[in-house]
Amino acid sequence: MDVQRKLAILADAAKYDASCASSGTEKRDSQGGKGLGSTAPGMGICHSYAPDGRCISLLKVLLTNACAYDCLYCVNRASSNVPRARFTIDEVVQLTLDFYRRNYIEGLFLSSGIIRSADYTMEQIVEVARCLREEHHFRGYIHLKTIPEADDALIAKAGRYADRLSINIEMPEENSLAQLAPEKNVRAIRRTMGRLRLKLDEATEAKAEARKAPTRAKPPRFAPAGQSTQMIVGADSATDQTILNTSANLYGSYNLKRVYYSAFSPIPDSSRALPLQAPPLVREHRLYQADWLMRFYGFDAGEIIDPAAGMLSLEMDPKLAWALRHRERFPLDVNRASREELLRIPGFGRKAVDRIIDTRRHSAIRSTDLAKLHIPRNKALPFIVLPDHRPPAYQLDGARLAERFRPKAQQLGFGF
């Protein structure tokens, strides 16, 4: 099988992993030395976008899509009839370098089906990274999938070469994973996430120590871009509340950089036990918004979702839905409210809040300024007070306010 055919199979097999981030790692470049590549700390770079709206930042492939496991939601499960392929280590390395030199990619995201054993699989993955780093002096981004229960020495090695490591939690609830992925074990996944967290903390501490005493040897490197995970949404019956609780638990426990939500999407040759329907893309989007509220807007996992529903509203963003349920907290005076309060106003993003706080020390914010701050007027005005604006009392109390924000019913067509 030629490399191009293998690539078609092994990229197709990798596309259900949503993560493609290339951000948040250490600063590196190849200037003044041998080698190729650099990182873009802070913001990652998306080199292309597919028509599914997903960014293409890394060469995202599996080493092999042969897999001993039979996870029902997975296109590569042992019982699926998809064609199988396996890259040699050298093929992945060469492909990464060739793509990188043409500026198609930021680096490599390598995963694999489980072959032989966790340790054997992990060893193969790590070997690709080692070859790129040590033999080709590749300074670009590397994301490696970590196989739960892989040996500690292999994990340490993976962290030495990779920028990011990830282990997918797959399902929001333990029992659905047990049903859908009989060979996977949440306990093993969590234990490995815990091991990664300890190694990440150790590296951070060692780095801080080294900064204090710069004469000492450089501390061993461990995945400077941290760890992440992915949860499949819509393959089981978990509610959004359950999903957010699981995310909050994972963020707190393992200091994850990101939890990715992947709407369960029909796969070729799929199993009977799963919903064969279009992926719940709006739900996925709302979950990302809620995730942002938890991480950057001071919201608690327990307050974002209407307890009566247990699900996020599909019609409006979660912050707006929260504000409509907590009208007693509004209207807020934009020129006086605290940062925490401003962050809770519908339509107010983090950057806008920073700018407001900077600006209002010198000049009061007025309603004509909202556009300059990129704040949507219609969404924000009912909830705020400005020197030249105060929402009428009936508006905030009225039942019609929520109506305003619902999407207009779509006319499906004229009969003729």
Partner 1 sequence: MHRIRLDSDTDFGGWRKAARELVLADVAPADITWSVTGDEPELFGAAGLAPDAGSFAETATPFVHPTQSPAPAQTFNVPARFVELAQIAILHRDPQRFAYLYQLLWRLRANPELMHIATDPDVARLQAMAKAVRRDEHKMHAFVRFREIGREPKSRYVAWFEPEHHIVELAAPFFARRFADMEWSILTPDVCAHWDGHRVAITPGVTKAMAPSEDRLEETWLTYYASIFNPARLKTKAMQAEMPKKYWRNLPEAVLIKPLIDHAERKAHAMVAAEATAPKKPQRQDQPMKRAKPKADTLAHLREEAKDCRACDLWKDATQTVFGEGPPHATVMLVGEQPGDKEDLSGKPFVGPAGQMLDRALAEAGVDRSKTYVTNAVKHFKFVPRGKIRLHQKPNTPEIKACRQWVERELAAVQPLLVVAMGATAAQSVLGKVTPINNTRGRLIDRADGPQVLVTVHPSYLLRLPDAEAKEREYARFVDDLKIVAAHLNKTQAA
* Residue 102: φ, ψ to 5°: -90, 5
DSSP 64: B
CB of 195 to partner 1, least distance (A): 7
Candidates 29-37, 152-160, 162-170, 228-236 — which segment interacts with partner 1 by CB under 8 A?
29-37
What is the Cα–Cα distance from 184 to 218, expressed in whole angstroms?
A: 37
String of contacts with partner 1 for each residue 61-100, x by CB under 8 A: -------x-x-x----xxxxx-------------x--xx-
Span from 26-34, 212-220, 335-343, 389-397 in contact with partner 1 (CB under 8 A): 26-34
| 81: three-class secondary structure by DSSP | coil
Site string for partner 1, 232-261 (x = CB under 8 A): ----------------xx-xxxxx------
Query: Which residue reads 């080294």 in tokens?
Result: 210
All residues at 6 or more sequence positions from 227 whose CB lies less than 8 Å from its CB, including other chains: 146, 164, 165, 166, 167, 193, 196, 197, 200, 254, 255, 256, 257
Q: What are the two backbone dihedrals, phi and then psi, of residue 190, each rounded to the nearest 5 degrees?
A: -65, -40
Closest CA to 168 of 254, 84, 288, 40: 254
The contact pattern for partner 1, residues 274-293, with x = CB under 8 A and - = no contact, is x-xxxx-x------------
Binds partner 1 (CB under 8 A): choice among 218, 272, 400, 408:
272
Q: At 364, phi and psi to the nearest 5?
A: -65, 145
The backbone torsions φ and ψ at residue 45, rounded to the nearest 5 degrees and listed phi first, read -125, 130
What's the closest the beta carbon of residue 247 comes to partner 1, in angstroms? 9
Considering only CA atoms, which of 332, 289, 315 is closest in space to residue 402? 315
Q: How far is the CB of 413 from partner 1 (least distance, A)?
A: 18
Between residues 54 and 84, which has the closer beta carbon with respect to partner 1? 54
Told to check if 43 binds partner 1 by CB under 8 A, we report yes
| Secondary structure of residue 295 in the 3-state scheme | helix
Minimal distance, residue 298 CB to partner 1, in Å: 9
Tell me how far, at minimum, the Cβ of 137 lies from partner 1, in Å: 9
Q: Which stretch binds partner 1 (CB under 8 A): 184-192, 234-242, 341-349, 380-388?
A: 184-192
Rounded Cα distance between 68 and 82, Å, is 14
Distance, in Å, from the CA atom of 352 to the CA atom of 345, rounded to the nearest integer, reads 11
Type of residue numbered 254: Y
361 lines the binding site for partner 1 (CB under 8 A) = yes
8 binds partner 1 (CB under 8 A): yes
Q: Is 377 in the site for partner 1 (CB under 8 A)?
A: no
Which of 162, 386 has the CB closer to partner 1? 386
Query: 83, 88, 101, 340: which one contacts partner 1 (CB under 8 A)?
Result: 101
| 358 is a site residue for partner 1 (CB under 8 A) | yes
